[in-house]
Structure 1
Amino acid sequence: MDSNSSTFSWLLLLLVIVPILPLLPLLFTKYQKRRARPAKLPPGPRKLPVIGNLHQLRKLPHRDLWLLSKMYGPLIYLQLGHVPTLIVSSAAMAREVMKSNDLDLCTRPPLVSFKKLSYSYSDVAFVPYGEYWREMKKICIVELFSTKRVQSFAYIREEEVAEMMRSIARSSSCCRSINLSEMLVSLTNNIICKAAFGKSFEGGSKHEQMEFHRAIREAGAMLGGFFIEDFLPLMGWMDVLIGLRGRLERCFLKLDAFYERVIDEHLRCDGAKLDREDFVHVLLQVQKESSLTKDQMKGILMNILIGGTDTSSTSVVWAMAELLRNPKTMAKAQDEVRTIVGRKGKVDEKDLHQLQYLKSIIKETLRLHPPAPLLIPRESMRQCSIGGYEVAPKTRFYINAFAIGRDPMSWENPEEFFPERFMGSSIDYKGQDFKLVPFGAGRRSCPGMLFGTVTIELTLANLLYSFNWELPAGLVKENMDMNEAFGIIVHKESALQVVPVAGPAPWLSGGETLFQD
């Protein structure tokens, strides 16, 4: 939700609430009676009647919660409307939630946007914990995101990255700036669509393709947006009044039409011999051997499309932005990739395991700019103990990966972009070390992590190998806009405009030029 619509929503909320404040305590009594308050709650700020602490979450909740953690500690209690909520902001507390008490805290809260876009919880990311989730998780891990399956899509990633490099090379010959953010969204979307659907999005004009990209980003904004019904159920009608329900419905219908078309196309050519299978073919094969429905397929495809496109492109944008602000780090990374890859002309996936400094840059980017800074919220299924406090069932949990990555108890100079901190370190983002949890941990960690990270590595490696990079004339690194735009995926608010330097690559001899058509 943008700042103007957010401000309007809050003004309208106040205009409606103020006249009926005397009646609200009576209306919400039943919710208070249902919940047995634990004897001792974690610390947290004082709350207002009815809305609790909702007023303290503004445009960028992960930053607001990070600031509150500095005041109240790594485990904070908030009352968000009628929802008791715990905010986790340290590695120690994250370990308790996602490891020690993972089984008690691994379900999802029933949020409006989750339900709609997941086809009433027919997916794997937003579905409540239970037997159905176990079945969907098994399909994702065994059939869709196994190491062998991810490696089988290497040709797609390499072809699409090479095409983007050729496009940049054409622009670099004119020495003009390019919108790298837009190019990266298009790249990752094409990779995901080819892997999932067998082809990139064919929307005709560039404008229509960007409209499709915007629909994906709109879905991310809806999934991370503020719906009043999620916190004040008796006032859910306000979501309709301010237009949020309509926005969600339009977003759903646009993406649903795309899924429907792709699945129908695959069904029409079901008997055709395929050189390579995509995700839809795999799901249709699974359907023949199980009771998988079309809505369940669409729910999984939604997870892949929304989660895979924005997370990868956003991470590469943040990495390039940080490198432009730290030229010595960029030069060191370029020296590594150019030395290891040599005169081959491009970086292949088989080269990636040697690029240790590049991997450290990506870890440092994910530490400072986790794609989903609050992860996907969890909900307690039964009473348990976290940090010495008793937690009641139906308590909502937000793990603030943004705050964990900036915790001075875990990181020296946490605000500094310093990839060297990971050189020679065993710290990784795969869910075993709770200082770095951009993809979550435990049962609800992201099953598509391998697919996403290899896309990030291959793209960033080729950008650094193939070109030198400058900021547009008149822009200095100290004045770069690093503001964030909030959604379930937090991307850079302004597009990253950069100038790729053309000409023979300095590490090649004989005037050889990369990515010639």
Structure 2
Amino acid sequence: MFLFLSLILFFSTYLFFRRNKIFIRKVQAKKYPPGPKKLPLIGNLHQMGNLLPHQSFQQLSEKYGPIMFLELGSIQTLVVSSADLAKEIFKTHDVIFSGRPALYAAKKFSYNCASVSFTPYGDHWREIRKIMIMELLSAKRVQTFVAIRDEEVGVLLQTIARSSRSRSSVNLSDLLISLANNIVCLVAFGKKFENGESRFSEMLHETQDLLGGFCMADFFPWLSWLNKWNGLEMRVEKCFKELDNLYDKVIEEHLDPKRPNKAEHEDVVDILLQVQKDPRQAIALNNDQIKGVLTDIFIAGSDSSAAALEWIMAELIKNPSVMKKAQEEVREVAKGKGKVLEKDLSKLNYLKLVIKEGLRFHPPVPLLVPRETTESCIIDGWQVPSKTRVFFNAKAIGRDPKSWEDPNEFRPERFLDSSVDLKGQHFEFLPFGAGRRGCPGINFAMLLIELALANLLCRFDWELPHGVKREDLDMEEAFGLTMHKRIPLCLDATIVDQ
């Protein structure tokens, strides 16, 4: 009898706790933001489909709302797709949302998360970011590189002019990438890599592919060993070693006492080495941290600027009345000089509207760089757990009809008499992010974009190659960390006499 009663008590207790555990689990699940049902093991990965990540997120958000909770593999993931929610997060919970996930390729290329972009939030990150902003990317420092920008934009115009005279179409996408890479190389290293001297452009392209590509370990961390067998580890190691060897060579050249006289302005490596030797610095900057900063500058400084220019030129081709108005403005400002100088940029009000609209329509990094919550919090009444990976869909936010009238029309005039800027204070427009983890290179990027675009419109008239209609221009996006056109932008340029 005692055994019988013991068994009844045992099973009753088991069923009670099992039922209540399920109940508790259901209650907890209701606290999380809405999202699609998940499958065992893979979670919601199967619902990403064949679209680009930001497109898949947008489709799902249209069904489940502007704050959406997913499980991508074993990773809890939050997707934010509205200005109101972005404002709540950046205004109230910015510290909690300032973490970074240690992604497989990013961890390697950032020298074990030593770069500004991927260093975990904390005192060390604050000091690295302070060095980057104060020493490298302040408005005053960026102005010291004016001669480099002017010269390289001049080289770009000469290259296009040669193609124009030979009646050849211009692969503008390739030329804009070369322009941005050359400027960043001169600013960072004091020299360009060209004429077979280095595989720098190829290495940079491969690095961007690896950072933006699919990696099983980013969704199932315990499966990182598979990268040894699928070839990813080999690709990452090969590219990393090439970049690392290049950085070592450049640093050695800068430390060589026999080095020829420096260029007119110190480059980034000069400045970082000075900081390294400065005993007043709060942290001792090591060579890996210097290399991490250099990688940050190239990934954020070159590729995103080139992509922004590529998309803006494509939209101007599709909207000839906008292009004509912008050309009239820049040619009036450049009258008698033949080109637009950096000191003229403040006069180009309509051009700035065009650039804003281009960045709203095509943010170069549509999902921004992913974040990770450092602790649990409540957003819009929903519980968000600690260690949740967070994506801000900047493209969906920039085309949200709740914030923008006719959001799918390219219309620069929408920014006329508007206080909305791109520095992260207006949450319906986040091409450079916002908050503590916002992009620190806005000054550098905007000067490059404005100067290059102004001179492209000033010096040339642009048309699609013979037989290609505006409505046939391919506007599909390519997969990657930075969003380029899937098919390069090839145009015919005609030199304008001034």
TM-score of the superposed pair, with normalisation by structure 1: 0.88
Shift of 1:248: 1.4
Give the alignment partner of residue 354 of structure 1, picking from 347, 354, 357.
347
Contact 1:37 1:392 in 2 (8 A): no
Once the 2 structures are TM-superposed, how far is the Cα of residue 83 of structure 1 from its aligned partner?
1.1
- The separation in 2 between residues aligned to 1:97 and 1:63, in whole angstroms, is 22
For 1:487, the equivalent position in structure 2 comes to 480
Q: Give the counterpart of 1:370 among 355, 360, 363.
A: 363
CA contact (8 A) 1:439 1:445 kept: yes
Q: Is the 8 A contact 1:314 1:491 kept in 2?
A: yes
Aligned to 1:62: 54
Counterpart secondary structure, 1:390? strand
Q: Tell me the matched-pair count.
A: 468
Distance 2:309 2:257 in 1: 36
Provide closer, same or farther for how the CA distance between residues 396 and 370 of structure 1 changes in structure 2, counting only shifts above 3 A: same
Is the counterpart of residue 403 in structure 1 residue 402 in structure 2? no
Question: Structure 2 vs 1, CA of residues 88 and 270 (structure 1 numbering), >3 Å: closer, same or farther?
Answer: farther
Secondary structure at the residue paired with 1:353? helix
Q: 1:336 aligns with which of 329, 334, 353?
A: 329
- d(CA) in 1 for partners of 2:210 and 2:362? 20
Gaps of 5+ in 2: 1-26
Q: CA deviation at 1:298?
A: 0.2
Q: Does 1:287 align with 2:276?
A: yes
Of 32, 44, 58, the residue aligned with 1:41 is: 32
2:253/2:259 contact within 8 Å kept: no
Is 1:276 the counterpart of 2:276? The answer is: no
Whether 1:133 aligns to 2:125 is yes
Deviations along 1:119-149, one digit per CA (max 9) or x if unpaired, are 0011101111011101100001100001110
Corresponding residue for 1:16? Answer: none
Question: Which of the numbers 76, 84, 87 marks the counterpart of 2:79?
Answer: 87
After TM superposition, give the deviation of residue 438 of structure 1 in Å: 0.9
Q: Secondary structure at the match of 2:31?
A: coil
Structure 1 equivalent of residue 173 of structure 2:
181
Q: Does the 8 Å contact 1:217/1:306 carry over to 2?
A: no
Letter in 2 for 1:453: M
The Cα shift of 1:97 comes to 2.0
Task: Give the Å deviation of 1:341.
Answer: 2.2
Identity of aligned residues (%): 52
Matched, 1:428 2:421: yes
Deviations 1:309-329, CA, capped at 9 Å, x for gaps: 101111101000110111111
Which of 42, 47, 50 does residue 41 from structure 2 map onto?
50
| Aligned 8 A contact 1:240 1:246 in 2 | yes
Instruction: Give a deviation string over 1:312-362, Cα, whole Å, max 9, x none.
Output: 111101000110111111001101111122221111111111111111111
Alignment partner of 2:412 out of 395, 408, 419? 419
2:373 paired residue number:
380
Pick from 84, 90, 99 the counterpart of residue 91 of structure 2: 99
Match of 2:440 among 447, 457, 460: 447
Length-normalised TM-score, structure 2: 0.91
Q: Provide the C-alpha distance between the structure 1 equivalents of 2:91 and 2:224, rounded to a whole number of angstroms.
A: 34
Determine the structure 1 residue equivalent to 2:489.
496
Deviation of 1:238 after TM superposition, in Å, equals: 2.5
Report how far residue 273 of structure 1 moved.
5.0
CA separation in 2, counterparts of 1:129 and 1:347?
41
Equivalent position of 2:150 in the other structure: 158
Shift of 1:175: 2.0
Superposition deviation, residue 117 in structure 1 = 0.4
Aligned residue runs from structure 1 range 178-217, under 5 A: 178-202=170-194, 204-205=195-196, 211-217=199-205
* Aligned partner of residue 374 in structure 2, secondary structure: coil
Tell me the residue number matched to 2:159. Answer: 167
